[in-house]
Amino acid sequence: MRRTISNVLRLIGKELHSIWADPVMLILVVYSFTVAIYMVSNDASTEVRHVAVAIVDEDHSQLSRRLADAIRPPEFQAPEEIAADAVDAALDAGRFVFVLHVPPRFEADLVSGRRPELLLEIDATAMAQAGNGATDLASIVSGEIAGFLGGGPGSAREPVDLVVRAWFNPNLETVWFGSVMQVMNSITMLTLILAGAALIREREHGTIEHLLVMPVTPAEIVLSKIFANGLVIVVAAALCLIVVVQWALAVPIAGSMPLFLAGTALYTVTIASLGILLATFSTSMGQFGLLVIPIMVVLNLLSGGMTPLESMPHWLRLTMQVVAPSPSFVAFAQGVLYRGAGLGTVWPDLLTFTAQGGVYFALSLLRFRGVLARI
């Protein structure tokens, strides 16, 4: 046992030196955990911000002006009044996402008890902003009309006072969600790439033959590659959460950082084992890249982070939870980082991807021994 530990530690040192000597890989790791996290989380937002709105005011009443004044930044740009015959050209040119039509005699019909109609035209090619913005505009218009008629909040016309309380993200900021999810995606992607590339590099450089004449076992070689690359990812993830997420993006971390990093360490073992397994089916870095791309797409898109598991078909959801470790890791990370959950709450997810890691490690070791036998 002592000899095995000594061999693994020496091989880990060799792997870390190889990573340090590869500037392209180092730049990829640094970029993925800094610039990519910040830009995707902060700039690729789906929130309604500064959306262009036009208004066709054919009523020119106090109420129509009140509606126009209620649509204001930061969610919307100040509405621009345009003529009715200019709407089609403006939407075709992409100048506005929303166009609100106020018909003639709108205020008079409303006061007299009739039910006039307002028309809201939407450029639905801006899908996220169209859906969210339509809801916001409907709420603004309804509130202003109720206030104009004397039926504002707390009046007798509203028998129920609905109080909304958003937990874990009180302002519904997408950066709170996007930053942490991007960290999890980067952990999955880079662990898979680094571990598999470490084995491919040995085969392309011919150094795997040198390892075969050394007093080391295949298990020690595989463990060293998993632990070395996992260590790099865990350290990078910890620095990213502290420097980029908490400091630069001002996103609070609700739970225990040590618990998250411990779970991340186990997860990197699982994903690194999968990376080694994929590398045993490849003879070059190009083949490995082509094999990894579709695997990464599935692991990230169907992890339950970007698309809810509940919206997937039952068979697909069950398959992902059994075969892929990413859904369990996403549930674990969200529980710890968002909700402040402890080990007593997240241990089933922790146990799930750890067990999957054991299976992937056994398969990768079996395949690696087969590769060595053919050399």
Print burial letters for 310-319: b (CB count within 10 Å at least 16), e (below 16). eebeeeebee
Burial grade of 196 (CB within 10 A; 0-12, 13-18, 19 or more) = buried
Which pLDDT score is estimated for 156? 45
Residue 60's Cβ-side half-sphere holds a number of Cα atoms within 13 Å equal to 3
The C-alpha atoms of residue 152 and residue 354 are separated, in whole angstroms, by 55
Burial grade of 227 (CB within 10 A; 0-12, 13-18, 19 or more) = buried
Q: Which long-range contacts (CB under 8 A, 24 or more apart) does 109-117 make?
A: 110/63, 110/145, 110/148, 110/149, 111/149
Which pLDDT score is estimated for 189? 93
Which pLDDT score is estimated for 375? 63
Look-up of token digits 């470790």 = 325
Q: Cite the residue boundaries of each domain of the chain with CATH code 3.40.1710.10.
A: 53-148
The C-alpha atoms of residue 164 and residue 75 are separated, in whole angstroms, by 19
Contacts of 113 (CB under 8 A, 6+ apart): none
Phi, psi (deg, nearest 5) at residue 153: -55, 135
Which pLDDT score is estimated for 161? 57
Nearest to 37 by CA among 244, 239, 301, 193: 244
Helices 62-70 and 127-148 cross at an angle (nearest 10°) of 140
* DSSP sequence for 178-198: HHHHHHHHHHHHHHHHHHHHH
CB atoms within 10 A of CB 152: 14
The low-confidence residues of the chain, meaning pLDDT below 50, are 153-156, 158
pLDDT digits (tens, 9 = 90+) for 227-261: 999 999 999 999 999 999 999 988 899 889 999 99
Domain 53-148: which CATH number of 3.40.1710.10, 2.40.30.110, 1.10.3470.10, 3.100.10.20: 3.40.1710.10
Nearest to 278 by CA among 289, 267, 266, 264: 289
SS3 77: coil
- Asked if 369 and 283 count as a contact pair (C-beta separation under 8 A), the reply is no
